[in-house]
Amino acid sequence: MSLTNLVTQYFVQYGFRITGAILVLLAALFVAKSVGRLFERWLNQQELEPPLRVLLLRLVKALVVILGLLIALDQLGLQIAPLVAGLGVAGLGVGLALQGVLSNVVAGLSIIFTKPYRLGEHISLLGVHGDVAKIDIFTTTLLHPDHSRIVIPNRKVVGEILHNFGTIRQLDLSIGVSYGTDIDRTLHGLRGLVSRHPHVLSEPVPIIGITGFADSSIILSVRPWVPVASVGSAQTELNHAILEQFRAEGVEIPFPQCEVRLLNPF
C-alpha cells in the first residue's frame, strides 16, 4: 500500500475524530475566555485581595480548559481513566522534584488567605524592608526606598518574624538646643511647624517633647506620622524647616563643648 493511500485511509478513519477533538479544544478556549470575563466581573464586586482574584480567575480558566482537553481526548477514543492515573503518578514524581516550588505555592496561598500584609503596606523581614508592590503565588515583591525591587520567595516569609508598618510610618527627628532656651515657646513653635506640613497626619497626633539631656544641650524629639510614600521627603523637609525656624527665632543649637579647669597652674 502506498503512503498516499495509507494517509488517505487514516484520515478517512480518524478524520472526524480529529476534527471533533480540535473543535472541542477551540470551544473550550472560547468558553474559558468568556467564563473568565464573567467571573472577573463578579470577582470585582467582591471584597477580595487582588492576588486572590488573580488566583481564582486562573483556576476557573484552567478547569474549563482541562475539561475541554479531557472531552477532546475522549473524542479521539483514548481511555481517560488510565491517563488520569498516569498523570497522577507523574504528578507525584514532579512534586517530589519540585518541593521548593510547591512550598512557595503553599506559602503564597497562606499569605493570600491570612493577609499578614497587603499591597502598599511597608513591611520589614529577613533583614530587608520596603513597600509591598506585588504578591504572587511564588514570590512577594517589595519596593525599596531607593526604588530598587526586592523579590522574596514566599516560603521565606511564612514562619518568620514580620514587622508590618501598614500604610503610615512615624518619623523620629531629634535636635539639641541650649539649656538657656525657652522650651515651652520652642515646643509650641515646633508643633505649629509640624502641623502645617502637608504630609504630616493629624491622627495619630505627633509626639513632640524633651527626650533627654546631653552635656551641653537639651534633646528635643519630633515624631510625627506620615504616609509611607512620603517618609523620605517629609524627613528632609522637616529637618530643613526646623533649622530655618530655629535660626529665625534665635534658638541656639550648641556645639559640643568641653570646659577644662587648671587647679594647679604652673
Q: What's the number of domains the chain is made of? A: 3
Residue whose cell numbers read 526646623: 242
The total of other beta-carbon atoms located within 10 Å of residue 223's CB is 16
Q: Global pTM?
A: 0.59
55-86 CB burial, b ≥16 within 10 A, e <16: bbbeebbeebbeebebbbbebeeeeeeeeeee
Over residues 132-175, the pLDDT tens digits come to: 998 888 889 999 888 899 999 988 888 888 999 888 889 999 99
Output the average pLDDT for the chain.
Answer: 80
CA 9 – CA 127 distance, rounded (Å): 68
Report how far apart, in Å, the C-alpha atoms of 10 and of each of 3, 77, 167 are. Answer: 10, 14, 66
Same domain, 57 and 131: no
Mean pLDDT of 187-212: 93
For residues 179 and 32, which has the higher predicted lDDT (pLDDT)?
Answer: 179
**Rg for the chain, CA atoms, rounded:** 33
What residues make up the domain containing 128? 116-166
pLDDT band with cut points at 50, 70 and 90 for residue 3: low
CA 255 to chain CA centroid, Å, is 43
| Residue 4 lies inside a defined structural domain of this protein | no
Please tell me the least confidently modeled range out of 19-23, 147-151, 190-194: 19-23
Same domain, 63 and 21: yes
| Residue 121 lies inside a defined structural domain of this protein | yes
| Residue 45 lies inside a defined structural domain of this protein | yes
Residue 2: per-residue pLDDT: 60
